[in-house]
Amino acid sequence: MDRRHFLATAAGALAAWSAAPCFAAARDVLTLSDGDFAMPINVLGSNMDAARIKEVLDAEGAPSSNLRNPINVTVVRRGDDFVLFDCGAGQNFAEGTGKLPGNLAAAGIEPERVKHVVFTHAHPDHLWGALDDFGSPAFPNASFHIAASERDFWMSPDVFQHLPEDRQSFAAGAQRLLKELAPVLQTFRPGEEVVPGVAAFETGGHTPGHVSFEVRHGTEVVMVLGDALTHAIVSFQYPEWRAGFDQDPDRAVATRKRLLDRLAAERLRVIGYHLPKGGIGRVERSGTAFRFIAEA
């Protein structure tokens, strides 16, 4: 484990639960890291050539080689229990992931106190952390919530035909995990309140049933976006680029544009699962496109 990163995360978490809400999106809304994983540059624009992507990243002073994709799990404290939004990749997805359990412990959150895990979608980096290293439930007292259309896509016997070779393992993993969770898995539809204060809304395209969540906590509102917007520069400045892991690229582009419009107009605080510095920030208009303003 990257010790410096771990300590920074843990310190932020601990501070967030004290009087000072630093590193948190709101008083009881925090993100914890599950680590990060290597990401090829062409994932940022499967219809763009690598030189063009690099040029865009270089212009912003962002890294354009050895890209790492951070994982931010949103944690909401409600009295004595907690709600997680997605639950990390676990140990079996990629080198560098599976750090959520350690970071929860550092923040003083026992897995038994997680009452709900709410999924944006069922990709491995969001789902596979639901089981621990031994294949047992990582959050033994939690109920799990997923959009019905997302569960149906992954559990369909022909899901494998809809995925390229390099994503066949995504489907095998989703089927294994969702079967394992079935006794404690509940489904919802976009527009519904999933748990009190947490409303799902449709942000499909990245996966067929991808949703985001409007989280109301006291007087505060935080939008948990999952993978509707995945990169701090490309998703905001070039929402029309096709992202490599988007299942339905045209729909994902339309979703990004619609979402960015709303987030900027309403000046909403957002959390992106793969955005930098804990993923917390806001969206502003910038010329004909948008800009992510990190808050951390």
- Residues at the contact surface with Zn ion, assessed by CB under 5 A: 125, 227
Task: Return the number of the residue (34 or 227) whose C-beta is nearest Zn ion.
Answer: 227
**269 forms bridges with which residues in the sheet?**
222
How far apart are alpha carbons 225 and 79 in whole angstroms?
Answer: 24
**Minimum CB distance to Zn ion, residue 121 (Å):** 8
CB neighbour burial string for 271-286, b if at least 16 within 10 angstroms, e if fewer: bbbbbbebbbbbbeee
How far apart are alpha carbons 90 and 129 in whole angstroms?
Answer: 4
Task: Return the number of the residue (125 or 150) whose C-beta is nearest Zn ion.
Answer: 125
HSE-CB at 101 with a 13 A cutoff on CA atoms is 16
**Minimum CB distance to Zn ion, residue 255 (Å):** 15
**Minimum CB distance to Zn ion, residue 51 (Å):** 26
**Minimum CB distance to Zn ion, residue 4 (Å):** 24
How far apart are alpha carbons 290 and 73 in whole angstroms?
Answer: 24
Rg (alpha carbons) of the chain, rounded to whole number: 18
Q: What are the two backbone dihedrals, phi and then psi, of residue 129, each rounded to the nearest 5 degrees?
A: -70, 0
Alpha helix stretches (DSSP H) within 107-195: 124-127, 148-155, 168-181
Task: Return the number of the residue (72 or 237) whose C-beta is nearest Zn ion.
Answer: 72
User: Are 32 and 83 within 8 A, CB to CB?
Assistant: no
**Minimum CB distance to Zn ion, residue 212 (Å):** 13
β 143-147/185-188 pair status: parallel
Task: Return the number of the residue (34 or 125) whose C-beta is nearest Zn ion.
Answer: 125
**Minimum CB distance to Zn ion, residue 56 (Å):** 21
**13 forms bridges with which residues in the sheet?**
none
**Minimum CB distance to Zn ion, residue 274 (Å):** 6
Phi-psi region of 208 (alpha: psi -120 to 50; beta: other; left: phi over 0): alpha
Task: Return the number of the residue (28 or 100) whose C-beta is nearest Zn ion.
Answer: 100
Task: Return the number of the residue (77 or 173) whose C-beta is nearest Zn ion.
Answer: 173
Task: Return the number of the residue (222 or 225) whose C-beta is nearest Zn ion.
Answer: 225
**Minimum CB distance to Zn ion, residue 287 (Å):** 28
Q: What are the two backbone dihedrals, phi and then psi, of residue 123, each rounded to the nearest 5 degrees?
A: -65, 155
The enclosing H or E element of 51 equals helix 50-59
Residue that is written with structure tokens 């510095």 in the block: 277
Q: What are the two backbone dihedrals, phi and then psi, of residue 97, each rounded to the nearest 5 degrees?
A: -105, 180
Task: Return the number of the residue (15 or 163) whose C-beta is nearest Zn ion.
Answer: 163
